[in-house]
């Protein structure tokens, strides 16, 4: 690439190499648009998912279950991290080559800062480039947040999720501050590798959004893996020692301490907008720093779009992918697609076995005024699911929440082997109006996990008393 004049002109500029941005860049580039994609780090080609998110963490889930009784815990973990890093390196180079080798796409590595609504500066000093574009896409993702707890940010024992997956030294005692999806997933991974894991969760229970019966099964499974979960725990302070950190926390009105070798701050991620110079572009942000967008993902500057985690939407790679469909439709399509088109978005927690859910919980459905019927079964009691026994994973529960008037599926919670796949079938049923009875009576391959639906949906265990008629 010849950058002698220090200025590049593009039809579309993409800031950030995340899922939504790279897919949009590839598609509009294929249509002949001149595209420049700027990524601040050569370790993040492809975005969060293949580098520090979905791919490495799920690979660690896989590796954590392969350790044999005779394996050295620390050596096995070190080898596992090395295997995972080799995998992410492969994904990273593949993502870079796929875009940079395209005739119409140029990838630049450096930090982008807005100069005005159509111009960004990349880099500083003699390496500084200017990119001028007709359309601009902000796709910078999110970054871990470390809560404001005394001593936590300055502790030499504090790690973010990104830090932890790159360390080859398995912590013997791992404290996790935060019992949400991120915290629980890492607890499950590192407990299986051999760490003694303690989760400190301020809420009265983990998975607080879920129904109590489902959350209780999940907590029992985690406890069975040796994970200590302290709910109602308020971490007050982290004190560094020479060889360990001390977690000071309040629980049940009393102050306690616990010595640990590492602390994972797992209290969420925030949109990565610092240093972008959004003020110079006239781009507004929300109170939590997310780029403010409308249903077509347009910012306060109509020619600038925001995709993925940075726009404050659900922090899932598949949402970022759908964001790209909306933006591509805006750039080269009919401009009709929007976030309002989304129905039944599933989510998965990759503990072992995985927990996947979609739609309303039983509690939410009742609060919304539905006539609710519920069907629920422990996996170990599902006769039509021999796969669970074949792979020796019978822990968990399957639960469906159904509209008592229409037989439509309002929501599902699947804590079982293959739940991350099963939930997609349920989601499709919900999107396209397939009734619970139709899902129940469908023909599935055998032995498979999906055929569990034949059993689970055959028995209603709880139903509201009918009153009135459907509106």
The catalytic site residues sit at: 446
Instruction: From residue 255, give the alpha-carbon distance in Å to each of 32, 247, 316, 375.
Output: 64, 10, 37, 42
Query: 316 is written with which tokens?
Result: 């899932």
DSSP 107-130: EEES-EEEEETTEEEESSGGG-EE
Compute the distance between CA of residue 221 and CA of residue 459 in angstroms, rounded to an integer: 25
The overall longest dimension of the chain from CA atoms, in Å, is 76
> At residue 326, what are phi and psi to the nearest 5 degrees?
-65, -45
Compute the distance between CA of residue 70 and CA of residue 66 in angstroms, rounded to an integer: 12
Query: 285 is written with which tokens?
Result: 């942000």
> What pairs with residue 10 in β-bridges?
133
**Of 190, 193, 188, 192, nearest to 207 (Cα)?**
188
Q: Exposed, middle or buried, 74 (CB in 10 Å: 0-12/13-18/19+)?
A: middle
């Amino acid at each position: 690439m010849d950058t002698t004049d220090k200025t590049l002109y593009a039809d579309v500029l993409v800031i950030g190499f995340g899922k939504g941005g790279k897919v949009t860049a590839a598609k509009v580039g294929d249509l002949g648009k001149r595209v420049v994609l700027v990524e601040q780090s050569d370790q993040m080609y492809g975005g969060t998912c293949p580098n520090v998110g979905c791919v490495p963490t799920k690979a660690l889930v896989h590796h954590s279950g392969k350790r044999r009784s005779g394996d050295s815990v620390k050596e096995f973990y070190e080898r596992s991290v090395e295997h995972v890093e080799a995998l992410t390196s492969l994904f990273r180079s593949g993502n870079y080559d796929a875009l940079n080798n395209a005739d119409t796409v140029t990838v630049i590595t450096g930090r982008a800062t807005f100069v005005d609504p159509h111009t960004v500066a990349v880099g500083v000093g003699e390496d500084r480039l200017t990119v001028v574009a007709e359309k601009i896409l902000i796709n910078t993702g999110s970054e871990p947040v470390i809560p404001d707890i005394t001593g936590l940010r300055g502790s030499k024992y504090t790690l973010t999720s990104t830090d932890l997956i790159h360390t080859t030294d398995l912590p013997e005692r791992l404290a996790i501050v935060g019992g949400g999806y991120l915290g629980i997933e890492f607890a499950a991974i590192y407990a299986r590798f051999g760490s003694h894991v303690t989760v400190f969760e301020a809420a009265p229970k983990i998975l607080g959004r879920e129904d109590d019966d489902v959350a209780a099964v999940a907590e029992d499974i985690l406890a069975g893996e040796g994970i200590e979960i302290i709910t109602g725990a308020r971490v007050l302070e982290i004190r560094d020692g020479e060889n360990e950190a001390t977690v000071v926390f309040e629980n049940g009105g009393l102050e306690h301490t616990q010595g640990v070798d590492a602390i994972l701050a797992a209290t969420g991620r925030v949109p990565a907008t610092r240093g972008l110079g959004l003020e110079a572009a006239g781009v507004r942000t929300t109170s939590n720093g997310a780029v403010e967008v409308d249903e077509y993902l347009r910012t306060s500057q109509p020619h600038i779009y925001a995709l993925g985690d940075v726009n404050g939407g659900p922090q899932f790679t598949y949402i970022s992918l759908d964001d790209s469909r909306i933006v591509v439709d805006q750039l080269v399509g009919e401009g009709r697609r929007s976030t309002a088109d989304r129905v039944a978005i599933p989510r998965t927690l990759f503990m072992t076995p995985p927990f996947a859910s979609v739609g309303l919980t039983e509690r939410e459905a009742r609060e919304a005024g539905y006539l609710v019927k519920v069907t629920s079964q422990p996996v170990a009691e599902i006769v039509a699911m021999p796969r669970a026994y074949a792979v020796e994973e019978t822990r968990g529960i399957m639960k469906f929440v159904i509209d008592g008037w229409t037989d439509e599926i309002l929501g599902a919670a699947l804590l079982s082997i293959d739940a991350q796949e099963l939930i997609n079938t349920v989601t499709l049923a919900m999107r396209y109006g397939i009734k619970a009875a139709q899902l129940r009576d469908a023909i599935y391959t055998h032995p498979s996990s999906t055929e569990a639906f034949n059993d689970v949906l055959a028995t209603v265990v709880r139903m509201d008393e009918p009153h009135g008629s459907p509106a």
